[in-house]
Amino acid sequence: MAYQEMRVKTEAGKCFLCEDAPCSKACTCGLPVSDIIRSIRFENPLGAAKKLKGENVRCSFCPAPCMQACTRGKVADAIRIPELVHYAKGLKSGLKPLEDVDLSIDFCGVHFENPFLLSSSIIGSNAEMVEKAYSMGWAGVAVKTIGMFVPQEVSPRFSQLSKEENPFIGFKNIEQISDHPLEENLAFLRKIKKDYPEKVVIASIMGRNEEEWTVLAQRVEEAGADMVECNFSCPQMVGEGMGSDVGINPELVEEYTRAVRKGTSLPILAKMTPNITDMRVPARAAMRGGADGIAAINTIKSVMNIDLESFASSPSVAGKSSVGGYSGKAVKPIALRFISEMAADPSLAGVPISGMGGIETWRDAAEFMALGCGTVQVTTAVMQYGYRIIDDLIAGLTRYLSDSGILSAEGLVGKALPNILPAEDLDRQSILYPKFQLSECVGCGRCEVSCYDGGHQAIHMDPARRVPKLDANKCAGCHLCRLVCPVGAITNGPRVSTAAVKERSEATA
């Protein structure tokens, strides 16, 4: 089963995720092939199984016209679609009936039908885009930041970081706030609220002084916004005194939040910058200024991809670049760290947090919620894969809550916080040894290499059988071996007290 899961994840990860996919059109069984692959790709395999309506699936006896139609087949091997369908079919027997799950969230006094929002960025910059997202199931949008000025943008303004077969583990942008005039943006807010009154509109704003913050707050409330989000965090604004320049200055955060409160009675979110050591300091300042909640994190200041021929960084604007904002899956652990610190801070107890930073799948979203976020916001994943990822976000979270017995999104919020402790409070009196599943080992030796060159020299390959052997007297239980094993053949073994380990070591010395 472990091998099959590895092959399936690898295969689904190769899919181009085509729009109007030819593989689905070619399937003689009428299966939503592309949707099945996408669900597997986004960690929703049971959702993939659910898409197999009835039993009329004959992949074993089919000439696989879906593979012949596969777009990837034009440049490399086609996706092994029958194998993915067979895997999904094998999961159908394990599908439990869904319990009645409530995905709705009441956040800062505003009701959301589910926790999933578009975060303030290019993906929510006009009515056509937002209304498409609403129609597909997104509960709300923080619109692209509105100001009282129109910035001049550069071209190009995006870049990505790649690793091995993954072309997009990180993303950089040097884009600024909305490049539409204020009145046009206000008309946009009015339209989406009129057309979708049950959806949530969060107006992200950025002023250059107290007066602008106050006026912007007044104007977006008049236009029908449900909440105001203060952009104290954009790292690539042209000129001083805006974006993250504000977010690292608690006095300015408090002053500008107070100016926004002066202009509106709506709930206020203060969007925090990660370009700071302790986010709790400006978060407290925002609350003193009248904020109702916190949004975190915005993008991380970055320089990316130096071309070693031209020595230009990317995105290259006529051979030059600048510090920009880093986002994508790679920033998720950083976001979770900041969020867990704020959620556990007694002075911020009970403050609602809208989380973002590297969310691609329902599992990512659930982790943010478990660490204290009531809602979650997504940008980079939508830029890669489109609004359609909402299907698997909703289905995956619903399935998880049903199977776990939590049964509501509200019930998940904060569940993991008690398990984040100061380093000095962790158990340091025992060792969790790795366990080698030799029947699944392929003999690659990655565990030995990593243990010797990066660990404690506790693993040696049996030269005759090409399987690993553990020297328990040297093993420190770091589990580097488990992490590097490409086939998942190393799992958690027994946890043993360090006193018992010492006794055994002395006895065998």
Contact call for residues 244 and 275 (beta carbons, < 8 A): yes
Instruction: Point out the catalytic residue in the list 27, 59, 66, 234.
Output: 234
Q: Where are the alpha helices (DSSP H) in 27-126?
A: 33-41, 45-50, 65-69, 81-91
The position carrying tokens 């993991």 is: 416
Concerning whether 373 is annotated as a catalytic residue, the answer is: no
Dist CA 328 CA 299 (whole Å): 9
Contact call for residues 268 and 291 (beta carbons, < 8 A): yes
Dist CA 173 CA 242 (whole Å): 17
Contact call for residues 119 and 379 (beta carbons, < 8 A): yes
Tokens of 286: 């925002």
Contacts by 436-439 with C-beta closer than 8 Å and gap 24+?
436/467, 436/468, 436/470, 436/489, 436/490, 437/2, 437/489, 437/490, 437/491, 438/467, 438/489
Strands 353-356 and 293-296, bridge-based pairing: parallel
Among the listed residues 288, 298, 296, the one whose alpha carbon sits nearest the alpha carbon of residue 256: 288
Identify the H or E element spanning 210. Answer: helix 210-222
Residue 56 burial by CB count (10 A; 0-12/13-18/19+): exposed, middle or buried? Answer: exposed
**3-class secondary-structure state, position 206:** coil
So which residues are the catalytic ones? 234
